[in-house]
């Protein structure tokens, strides 16, 4: 026997046991009790006298209930009772087993004064993803629901059915399975059947995943407060990449995208999430000649060049301990590029007129440009080695024409002069269709100017397509092409028979057989029938097929509104439809 005693899978064990110690699956002592003649203890996650005693036909026993609140413990797990001076223990067909540990130097044939009963020890290896996929949410109203849906789907891939619900967090029956949300609620995850002993690890993985998305949610909310609109899936993905790069300690970041798309605001997001105490300094490299740019970037002593009447502290030196934004890096003169490369390699620089005396600066560098840096490198206008030194993290900031939800949110945030409604509410459906098809070459600058040019004193629905076209033409570089408003039809006849037959056909095409088991039925319903039904009932079939993730998110928003569903569900079902059935 080992010094720690021996473990036996339980059957009916007889002996003069007087004390029983019950432990949960993590080794924690749940209860210590003495058994008396004619009494019994039914142990389980949710023990029931009727169900437990029926299993062994011992209705005459006086039964006490002992709950062990662990997912890997079966509802009615084991029964212990005293009979004719003997103690009997029986596993009641639990999923994960009951194990006995006897004191050292004793076996099951010998009298033992104390026995430890441990419940639900078995576990399994999992080769499935270690955490749920990234949820998609839009704001406080659907953040918790999006996390709950993603958690439910992931546990299903692990073979565990769970209830994942969002509560106000004020009260919970199982605090160990509740995850606080950044919105102030609580995501409560409860298994609907007995799980094995890997439950705690799986739940821990979900909580770590949830904590990261809590942090991302808070980052988005903070960025919105600073004025950057984060409504579209495209800009939120770029924002997430910037935040993650900053939190990972990235020393350089490249932001590419058109002028007015929000690159400087994202550079400030990078600075804020880098956790550094130094300042944020921005320098537009296209505004200076090569000599002046060098002095503005690295500094200069008085008299070091014509017109240098005083010492210049460069942007690199001023950004010590913080972040330096080099805007329009694609216009950086070729003479200055090797100096920047040397600084990035060594973090050393020299002021003009103070040669041979290198200084150091601990600075994070964000390089932003509206130009195609890769093409500039291929054409010889930008150094290969500088590109490779900068491009550890490259984030594409999408143009406004790919971010319709951001246009909508901007118009929603602007009020009319009398404050009676938002600018969005003043636009007719035809006017919105015109704006949806506009290329927005000036991005947010053009959008802001368009809003300023709209007629004064509008009321809800008063601005038609003609009024919007006039406001656009005053600032546009190209003629405004009329765009017909999309036809939004009401849901037609629900052809359940056709949808069901199409879903079965698709299942057969993918599996070479019809659904033949309960698991098949669940897969058929979730992956084939639901997407078809949602697509048709939401009238998504009357809309153009989405060509990108942003258009898909917009379509999902309209579908969710029409059916009264949450947006995460709409996006999931429509994504499945387009992936499997096309349009």
Listed residue (178, 176, 130, 186) closest to 155, CA to CA: 130
- DSSP per-residue codes, 332-397: --TTTHHHHHHHHHHSEE--BT-TT--EE---EEEEEESS-HHHHHHHTSS-HHHHHHHTTSEEE-
Rounded CA separation 257/453 (Å): 26
pLDDT category of residue 455 using cuts at 50, 70 and 90: confident
Q: Average pLDDT, whole number, for the chain?
A: 81
pLDDT category of residue 107 using cuts at 50, 70 and 90: very low
pLDDT at position 491 is: 41
The two structure tokens encoding residue 370: 């509206």
DSSP state of 329: G
Dihedral sign for Cα atoms in the order 525, 528, 531, 536:
negative
pLDDT at position 46 is: 86
pLDDT category of residue 157 using cuts at 50, 70 and 90: confident
* Whether the predicted pLDDT of 479 surpasses 80: no
Q: Global pTM?
A: 0.63
* Poorest-pLDDT segment among 12-16, 358-362, 446-450, 570-574: 12-16
CB neighbour class for 531 (10 Å; exposed up to 12, middle 13-18, buried from 19) = buried
pLDDT at position 4 is: 40
E strand intervals along 391-500: 394-396
User: Could you give the 3-state DSSP secondary structure of residue 24?
Assistant: coil
When pLDDT is averaged across residues 85-101 and rounded to a whole number, the result is 76
* Whether the predicted pLDDT of 414 surpasses 50: yes
pLDDT at position 279 is: 95
**pLDDT > 90 in the chain, percent:** 25
Query: Between 567 and 249, whose confidence is greater?
Result: 249
CATH class held by domain 400-473: mainly alpha
pLDDT at position 498 is: 80
Beta carbons within 8 Å of 412's beta carbon, 6+ residues apart: 422, 423, 424
CB neighbour class for 3 (10 Å; exposed up to 12, middle 13-18, buried from 19) = exposed
Q: Which of 9-18, 114-123, 359-368, 467-476 has the highest mean pLDDT?
A: 359-368
Q: Are 326 and 344 spatial neighbours (Cβ–Cβ below 8 Å)?
A: no
* Whether the predicted pLDDT of 256 surpasses 80: yes
Which fold, 235-396? Answer: Rossmann fold (3.40.50)
Q: Which CATH architecture has domain 6-119?
A: Sandwich (2.60)
For the chain, the domains span 6-119, 143-225, 235-396, 400-473, 496-580
* Whether the predicted pLDDT of 255 surpasses 90: yes
pLDDT at position 485 is: 38
* Poorest-pLDDT segment among 117-121, 375-379, 473-477: 117-121
pLDDT category of residue 488 using cuts at 50, 70 and 90: very low
The two structure tokens encoding residue 255: 């932001």
* Whether the predicted pLDDT of 114 surpasses 80: no
The two structure tokens encoding residue 139: 């704001």
pLDDT at position 3 is: 34
Helix (H) / strand (E) containing 112? none
Rounded CA separation 407/444 (Å): 8
DSSP state of 242: H
pLDDT in tens, 230-254: 988 889 889 999 999 999 999 999 9
């Amino acid at each position: 026997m080992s010094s720690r005693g021996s473990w036996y899978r339980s059957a009916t064990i007889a002996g003069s046991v007087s004390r029983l110690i019950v432990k949960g699956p993590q080794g924690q002592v749940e209860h210590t009790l003495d058994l008396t003649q004619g009494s019994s203890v039914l142990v389980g996650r949710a023990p029931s006298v009727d169900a437990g005693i029926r299993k062994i036909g011992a209705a005459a026993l006086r039964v006490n209930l002992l709950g062990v609140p662990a997912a890997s413990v079966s509802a009615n797990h084991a029964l212990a009772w005293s009979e004719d001076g003997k103690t009997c223990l029986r596993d009641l067909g639990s999923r994960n087993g009951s194990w006995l540990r006897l004191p050292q130097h004793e076996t099951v044939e010998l009298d033992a004064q104390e026995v430890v009963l441990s419940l639900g020890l078995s576990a399994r290896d999992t080769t499935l993803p270690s955490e749920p996929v990234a949820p998609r949410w839009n704001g406080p109203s659907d953040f918790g629901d999006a996390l709950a849906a993603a958690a439910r789907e992931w546990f299903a891939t692990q073979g565990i059915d769970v209830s994942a619900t969002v509560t106000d967090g004020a009260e919970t029956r199982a605090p160990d399975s509740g995850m606080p949300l950044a919105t102030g609620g609580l995501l409560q995850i409860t298994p609907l059947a007995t799980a094995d002993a890997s439950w705690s690890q799986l739940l821990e993985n979900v909580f770590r995943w949830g904590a990261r998305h809590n942090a991302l949610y808070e980052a988005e909310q903070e960025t919105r407060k600073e004025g950057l609109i984060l409504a579209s899936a495209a800009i939120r993905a770029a924002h997430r990449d910037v935040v993650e790069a900053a939190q990972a300690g990235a020393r350089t970041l490249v932001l590419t995208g058109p002028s007015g798309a929000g690159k400087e605001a994202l550079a400030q997001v990078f600075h804020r999430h880098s956790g550094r105490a130094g300042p944020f300094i921005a320098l537009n490299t296209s505004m200076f000649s090569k000599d002046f740019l060098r002095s503005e970037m690295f500094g200069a002593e008085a008299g070091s060049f014509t017109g240098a009447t005083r010492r210049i502290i460069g942007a690199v030196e001023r950004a010590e301990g913080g972040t330096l934004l080099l805007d329009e890096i694609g216009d950086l003169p070729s003479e200055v590029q090797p100096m920047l490369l040397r600084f990035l390699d060594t973090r050393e620089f020299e002021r003009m007129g103070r040669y041979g005396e290198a200084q150091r600066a601990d600075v994070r560098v964000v390089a932003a440009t509206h130009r195609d840096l890769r093409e500039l490198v291929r054409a010889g206008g930008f150094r290969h080695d500088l590109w490779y030194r900068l491009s550890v993290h490259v984030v594409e900031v999408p143009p406004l024409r790919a971010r319709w939800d951001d246009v909508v949110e901007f118009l929603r945030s602007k009020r009319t002069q009398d404050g009676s409604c938002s600018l969005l509410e003043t636009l007719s459906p035809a006017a919105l269709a015109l704006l949806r098809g506009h290329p927005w070459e000036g991005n947010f600058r053009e959008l802001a100017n368009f809003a300023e040019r709209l007629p004064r004193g509008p009321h809800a629905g008063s601005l038609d397509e003609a009024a919007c076209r006039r406001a656009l033409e005053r600032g546009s570089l190209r003629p405004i092409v009329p765009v017909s408003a999309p036809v939004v039809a009401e849901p037609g006849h629900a052809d359940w028979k056709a949808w069901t037959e199409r879903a079965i056909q698709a299942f057969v095409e993918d599996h070479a057989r019809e659904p033949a088991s309960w698991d098949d039925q669940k897969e058929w319903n979730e992956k084939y029938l639901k997407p078809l039904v949602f697509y048709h009932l939401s009238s998504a079939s009357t809309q153009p097929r989405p060509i990108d993730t942003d258009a898909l998110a917009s379509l999902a928003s309209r579908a969710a509104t029409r059916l009264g569903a949450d947006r995460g569900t709409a996006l999931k079902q429509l994504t499945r439809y387009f992936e499997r059935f096309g349009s």
